[in-house]
Structure 1
Amino acid sequence: MKIPLTGERVVMLADGANHSAFLREFNDCSSPKEVLKLVDRDGLSAAELGRILCTKNAQRVSVNLLGACLGHHHEFWKVFADEYPQNFNFSGLKIVSAIRNYLWHFRLPGESAMIYRIMEGFSKAFFNQNAPPEKPRCGSGGVSSISRGWYVKQPQDETGAPICSYCGNKAAANKQDCLNSSVTDKEKSLSACHGCKLISFCHPCLKRAGQCGHAGRGILGYGRACVAARCLEAGALVSGITYYNASTKQELTEQVNSEFFTWERVSPFLSADSVNVMAYAIIMLTTDLHNPTIKRKMCPDEFFRGLRGVNEGQNFPSDFVSDIYYDIKTKELEIMK
């Protein structure tokens, strides 16, 4: 029987007084189209529906139907796909952890267009709660704001060999490769940062080391990322640092200024679009690494290179991408079956 729309009923639903009854009616629907009739009957907005489906009774929601609604192409469901994830707390979470949490509340549809719409809504919510600070927290000069807290671990390929910390390219395997004209300049050699000697860059990217908090071509001394990398290696704060002075071609040891210990990690995402690209890449990566029918698995450097320039024209920090790759490789991104 159709219940007539009343202001009192809308308030009851919006305030959570009658969620259980509504959830039973929601689960009785066979499609997003039927749910729309229910929503129209009760005069609910997409935001109100999202709040109802995220109440403590949400575990009773049909995960199949909720996933179908989130990925549906109807305009109401597109708005709902944006509103529903706003009820989750993603603040301070790593993106893989946030995706694991989110995808455990509904069954992800198999159609790529539906997946994209769902992850687009997630990405907006994640970025809103983890946007980088408008102003750099420390230092000045040419250090990129999204580098802060990163570039402290050397990324490696599947064999454990280092790759460029900025672009992800491999070094040439041997001298013969260096002589091979098909090998680009970027692939011919890697150079360690002059400040910490722990993080390596290919020859063309060495000029970008300063943006990453390191000492590269033409930069004397050491950077905050150098100190952070040394502290990470030592497992404690270091009192001094030895670096290569390119002008004198000598190694110098200095006491570390206390302000150089300030290298707080910030979210490297510059937009919701870049979150969405990464989120979709993570879903594709888990399929690639854990689907037994795929024989040739994606390597870390391939995953890295596939994400070049997608962060509003910039690269993601290398250790950020590396952490994501090995997180997914170690544990499959589980979704509702």
Structure 2
Amino acid sequence: MLELGVGMFGDLQIDPTTGQIQSAQQRLQEIIEEVKLMDEVGLDFFGMGEHHREDYAVASPEIILAAAASVTKNIKLGSAVSVISSTDPVKLYKDFATVDLISAGRAEIMAGRGSFIESFPVFGYDLKDYNELFEEKLDLLLKLRSNPTINWTGKFRKSLINQDIFPRHTENGLPIWIAVGGTTSSVIRAAKLGLPVMFAIIGGAWEQFEPLFEMYKQAYEDNGHTMSKFQVGVHMHSFFGDDSISIADSYYPTYAAQMNRIGSSRGWPSYQRSQYDFGRSNIGHLVVGDANQAIDKILAVQEKFGLTRFSAHMDVGSPDHKDMMRSIEIFGTKIAPKVREATK
């Protein structure tokens, strides 16, 4: 059965007239309410992103997940993503092992490079070491998960010699996913290690990712991993409402404003309504509309790629809390039951 859940980055609302940014305190409290509702409507997982910018509320996903663990019962709680290149893997493992204990085995780590680079100067890392940092820290993180006592030597931190690592995660194993965009080397690395992959499809036509899915599956099999444990997912910008046209029109200014804020620092042209409308089409990367539209697109993507997980990135631009709650409710009560019935 396909797992269905929500990913968030903790975007803060920005007043389009004054430029005033919503307080992080308010948004964090809203996020906890939203995750509580996800659990109540039966969604399978929640992922929280890591950012170190004024316009995002969450720098430490594990703290939000620990708070969410106290108000939920069943939903899996993971990062989306943890920027492991600029993180100490020992501290990261210990923090997520703690969340795993608090939540009775519901914690996950999604490791990735992140879409921004602010964490590197914040934590004292050099961007020239971008690739080496990721490879070394992923290696250490995987060894920490496997061994309560570790011996390890790397380039970017002191060696660990017969070092005991506590606390330990639960018997559920603390799953570690790898988040990738379109980088072939990242796909091959994850496949060799037998790690599940989450593909971020956040632009263009979703079918253009087919070669990467095929590459991942082939490399996974070629490296001797059993297909019974094969897991692959997509992360797609999503928002749901009761009426397709109304939700598309009301969400567009929020979504476009965020695309333009990000694009201004990356040299992108101004975001256009035509891009948004293409994204909402059957072949586009956006899952924005009513329940029936969402069901059709999720099932089409699942059938094409053999998905085991679909993540709806639902807070791009930080829609109003009440609209977020309605979107979550529609996802859990109208979309998820039909998708599960079709994919069981």
* Alignment TM class, shorter chain as reference: under 0.3
Q: Which structure is richer in relative contact order (CA contacts within 8 A, separation 6 or more)?
A: 2
TM-score (norm 1): 0.25
Higher strand share: 2
TM-score (norm 2): 0.25
